[in-house]
Amino acid sequence: MNGWIMWFVLSGVIVILEMFTGTFYLLMIGIGLAAGGLAALAGVSSALQFIVAAAVGIIAIFALRQSRFGKFDKADATRDRNVNLDIGETVAVAEWKHNEGGSATARVMYRGAMWDVELDAGATARAGSFIIREVQGNRLIVANSTSSR
């Protein structure tokens, strides 16, 4: 079997494996292997085929890493609505308890249970409606419903 056929078979296997993982990194390696197959088809030496495959694979991975598909979002899960659907919901606070250090806490009924509520930075402690900005364990961090943060 010719060398170029092996390169393309390996490339196909890697691309198929990529479909099971859902990442683009194996696809970039498959592109590198296909480049090695094209180099073999052109008749270059085996050593140069490996160099071409490695160089194209590394360049493709680097290009992927620089694109928007290769960047990982490091969103804070406690403030991410996609992780916790309570964020953005409204709670009614009837009375605030002022603690030492200037913080204010309260207890509210939310989703059929009692929750501890704490003010977010910049929020004003007053009776009324508040929007949940963060969930930390069994504590809701809330802001005034009129704030646009």
| Mean pLDDT along residues 37-47 | 93
- Dist CA 117 CA 142 (whole Å): 7
Domains parsed from the chain with CATH numbers: 3-66 (no CATH), 77-144 (2.40.50.140)
The percent of residues above 70 in pLDDT, for the chain, comes to 93
Name the least confident of 31-35, 97-101, 122-126, 143-147. Answer: 143-147
pLDDT at 38: 95
Structural tokens at position 6: 């092996």
- Percent helix, percent strand, percent coil in the chain, to nearest 5: 40, 25, 35
Looking at the predicted structure, is the pLDDT value of residue 69 above 70? yes
Mean pLDDT across the chain, nearest whole number? 87
